Amino acid sequence: MIIVIQCRDQVGLVAAISGALARLQLNIISLREHVDQTENRFFIRIEVDGETATAPLRHELGYLLPGDAIISINPQPEKKIVVLVTKEYHCLSDILIRHHFGTLGASVRHVIGNYPVLEDICRRFEIPFTLISHENLEKEDFERQIMDVLLRLQPDYIVLAKFMRILSPAFVKAFPARIINIHHSFLPAFVGANPYRQAFERGVKLIGATAHFVTDQLDEGPIIAQQTIPVDHSYTAAAMMKAGKEIETAVLASALRLVFDDRVLVYKNKTIIFQ
């Protein structure tokens, strides 16, 4: 069982939480905590061994912790995800392979694409695919059709695996800190479209990728994982893009692993990552 808590910091929180777990005969296997002194915010992730009902544990912790405490008690169920795609295959194929071999840490319940390009690979892995084209549709109608599928499936997370459409604030609001995007740039540099062209024209010496939660601000949501590699003057924009796809795949996989293992806590526009 994994317990994740964030709340206002005060003296004695670790002792109080540990005592509550001991009273319920829950043995602590691992414990990681962090205090953001600027925000006076306390974060903790605890893995425990033992069995207890969720309600008594939540009640016990709620009684001891500050009133603003956010408590997540997760007996490590397999997360359910829906993946949104456009045409690029590299991130989706990596997710499907990991799902097939049981190393993703989540179950891919569905893939939604606004083009039919990736339907075949989904069929090969026996994953349902729904085509929802944005063409000749108002944004609101396009998103409503996607929302209908999501509300039916009730995923824990939505993964944008190179889904090249900007989601509306209303859509994002419906899934707070539950939409994960891979951006083909080392944010905050080169936001928006054509980042490799931007990087090439700027003559950068590093390129990278960023996985983050989606918010109303384009490419400015809480960052989960990032990675860079060196490049030089010999790289064309096309060569940068090819190298960048490898980074995108790795960074998204790393971010998903952290999120699915309940190692990511979000506060305001930042994340606390317990590796």
Helix (H, G, I), strand (E, B) or coil at 255: helix
Pair type for strands 106-113 and 129-131: parallel
Cβ(93)–Cβ(251) below 8 Å:
no
The terminus-to-terminus CA distance of the chain in angstroms comes to 17
Strand intervals (E) in 231-273: 264-267, 270-273
**79 to 110, 121, 125, 156, 217: CA distances (angstroms):** 13, 22, 18, 6, 26
Cβ(2)–Cβ(45) below 8 Å:
yes
| Of 40, 11, 13, nearest in space to 268 by CA | 40
Residue 148 annotated to the active site: no
Our CA angle for 48, 54, 55, nearest 5°, is: 140
Candidates 219, 232, 261, 262; catalytic one: 219
Catalytic residue positions, numbered: 219
